[in-house]
Chain A
């Protein structure tokens, strides 16, 4: 099983659609979880951290299921500006100085 696995997409959705991304991770010792966003030819930027209780930031909702080692990101009312690659990120765990393991990303394209 890969350390962090994501559906590469692309997800092509119309404006206003709701889209969900899923991610699985293999290391049960991972303690922190994030979603990053990367625009074409740009650096990754933190979108949101993911907490066990689930968290919401405007149109974005992140969920974590530790038992299933599964993370999700839901985007409601998609905007053209949401078009990007979304990276699922987990810490390596086990005292590894906080090294992050990045998924390969899921590409989202929002069309008018």
Chain B
């Protein structure tokens, strides 16, 4: 039982490049979330998926897209990376809202 896994752990991009952050959970949770964490800003919700087949914008969705591929997987895509997207990205899942959220280990992204 791995919980929530994220790939990659680290990534460096150049401005304008694209990439997809992958997230998977093996706890049969319905809801999944993507957050970013910046120094002095706390965790901010980018997008969430309350259940398979649905996605909704969070607090800071601009510059991102998401796909809920199936119940297990929820990916985050940066189409054209910008330096302002340098951050630590966490994926999380929960069984039922507003249940406890379980976090993955994070992806440290640097955009040059």
Contact = CB atoms under 8 A, between A and B. Distances in A.
Interface of A: 31-32, 34, 42-46, 49, 87, 91, 97-100, 102-105
Interface of B: 31, 33, 40-45, 48, 50, 56, 58, 90, 94, 96-106
Contacts of A45: 103
A44 B98 contact: no
Contact of A99 (B45, B99, B102, B104): B45
A98 B97 contact: yes
Contacts, number: 50
Given A31-B98, A34-B100, A46-B102, 16 more contacts: A42-B105, A43-B103, A43-B105, A87-B42, A97-B31, A98-B50, A98-B94, A99-B98, A100-B45, A100-B98, A100-B101, A102-B42, A102-B44, A103-B42, A104-B41, A105-B42
A77 B98 CA distance: 31
B42 A98 contact: no
B9 to A, nearest CB: 11
Given A43-B90, A43-B104, A97 B42 contact: no
A49 B102 CA distance: 13
A98 B31 contact: yes
B99 A98 contact: yes
Contacts of A97: 31, 48, 50, 56, 97
Closest 10 CB pairs of A and B: A98-B97, A98-B98, A43-B103, A104-B42, A102-B43, A91-B98, A97-B50, A32-B98, A97-B97, A102-B42
